[in-house]
Structure 1
């Protein structure tokens, strides 16, 4: 796993022979979050000809040329992310066609230059591996655990209410064992922690 990620999104725009290339690099937790961001970009740029992207997020990598010739957009974006030793990052480039064909080599350069421009002064931070724990607890215990998690700065997911309350905790992997013990202590062993 790459040791760095972005602390916030970065953007840049380059123009190549009248085509506009709008690049975005943003931290994402997983493929689902990345695809949601790509959908948001498509909605924000309905007149764009292409929304090409690449993702590095642990075991969740992927890329799309979105109609550009194979290997001319997604792969160059992915290589720039790898060159910067990033993980947990989506790189996307929105292209508005300017009427002049760039050829395969020109496209590779344009997509590479666009995402590289976005990453020039990107706020890079050390990537802390995260774990997701699923907690199943009685109603009173669930609130106690959620308050504790908030106090620790852990992200809690939406709760499902049934016979028990089920919700997720996202926290640094190095804190997972301590968190399991804390949940057990807070609920006197009544809560079940999976993951």
Structure 2
């Protein structure tokens, strides 16, 4: 259920705060929020890059969201070598035992969720969520994310780590024509 809280004035894109709440009504942190904009077909990012580092034998960040077409670098800042992999349908790849930064980044070219691991350190896991829109973010500790959105009827996609490899949930999103506002979203997986 999504309800805009503010009324009308401008038809241009505006900054909106999306508040995501769990089934109990509590703020839902670390939820990927992506808004597929009506009338704007999916297209890959051009020249976009991101980083999924390894530091202290952990992936940093443990949750990364990128637009399709983004090149992701995997620098290893540890004194040990890592063997990074994903066997997820979204992106299958292996970066065999390495130190430093691999010469070539990994291009994430289709939407979905890629679960990452390290063959050497089993406790090292992370997720990369790949979306077909430039309007995306991750909720903070208050369950909020700010996005610049035009008025209209769009599609909202939400994903949290408890969903594993499952595709993000999807629901309609009506954005009013206010200059700014708050949208409240209930996230039930």
Q: What is the TM-score normalised by the length of structure 1?
A: 0.24
Bigger RCO of structures 1 and 2 (CA < 8 A, at least 6 apart) = 2
The structure richer in strand per residue is 2
